[in-house]
Amino acid sequence: MNFPVAICHNYSLVEKNTLGLPSTAKYYAEVNSVVELQSALAFARDKQLPVIPLGGGSNVVLGDVLDALVVHVNLKGRTVLNRDQDYVRVRARAGENWHEFVLWSLDNRAYGLENLSLIPGNVGAAPIQNIGAYGVELMDSFVSLEAMSLESGLVEYFDRQSCGFGYRDSVFKGEKRDQYIIVSVTLDLDATLKPNLGYGQLGDLLARRLGDQAPSAVDVSRAVCDIRREKLPDPSCLGNAGSFFKNPEVSPSEMDRLKQIYPDIVAYPLGQNWKLAAGWLIDQAGMKGARKGCVGTYHKQALVLVNHGGATVRDVLSFSGQVQQKVNDKFGVQLEREPRLYMGDVDKISH
């Protein structure tokens, strides 16, 4: 059977993941169109291979050898679909860089994503994770997405309800996991700027810069970028996968228990529960800036694991497990890994 897409064998992924881990894909394809994606998935079905989608490579931990078809989703395109006095409807294809898409939206007077500036990765990964930062989440502006079924090769439509969004969560991390590859995302952004400055550090920085002057969307975006750059290392200089642990959610009773022991604990209301600052927990457990061999936590932000050079997936898992144990021992709170872990063949792809 002939497939109209180039399939590479034993392809190195060391440059395709921001942690910089050595990894080899038994099969690899870069797809630049829906037709090429369908062809790549047909190849995987023909060879009975698991499929691993790869975008910007910023939210994954890759094993040494992946006995799978790794599909680099490189679908490009950004469009303003409609504009009225309240909203601007935009669509971006999955391979667009997220930060560049945010800047494009501001250039097109479409507001609401400025707080999500400089989040690493591509558009296609954004709804899977329901990315969020500084008081804003993707679901706030989400309309719909199109995703290709790995089983049928057909493109299906998902509205907001069918995506099952939660805190850093969606149906694509649950019951629809490993069943679809997202090809485009549609959002309704604001036609007029409604800045969200509730996050203290962001509001404080803008107040110092602008005084009583109202910030523009670009002002907000630049402030967010400056805060992120201050706290987070550039993957091109120091390998990392962004935030490595989720901020854990606890019940009100658990929050009361922790507050009695640690009055200065950093936490935020999340519905009826509380969200704990994982970085604070790691810091208080004595693991901020800690290092074991080639892997450590970043000295400016304990939430980020970094590859100082030469690390393997085993090094990352060993050290991250040590961080989890230290936090659990001190607080009785279990941290969950945020990046997706891929280890070996289909039976070893970890959830």
Active-site residue list: 168, 243, 338
Burial tier of 31 (Cβ tally within 10 Å: 0-12, 13-18, 19+): buried
Running DSSP on this structure, what letter comes out for residue 191?
S
- Find out whether 279 and 301 touch, Cβ atoms under 8 Å: yes
156: β partners: 147
What is the C-alpha separation between 182 and 176, in angstroms, rounded? 12
Spell out the alpha helix ranges (H) of the chain.
34-47, 98-107, 126-129, 160-163, 200-210, 217-231, 252-261, 278-284, 313-331
In the three-class reduction of DSSP (H, G, I as helix; E, B as strand; rest coil), residue 41 is classed as: helix
Running DSSP on this structure, what letter comes out for residue 216?
P
Which H helix or E strand runs over 132? Answer: strand 132-133
117, 65, 90, 263: which is closest to 185 by C-alpha?
90
CB atoms inside a 10 Å sphere around CB 323: 26
- Find out whether 60 and 339 touch, Cβ atoms under 8 Å: yes
Cα 243 to Cα 58, 323, 343, distances in angstroms: 10, 13, 20
Distance of CA 199 to the CA centre of its chain: 20
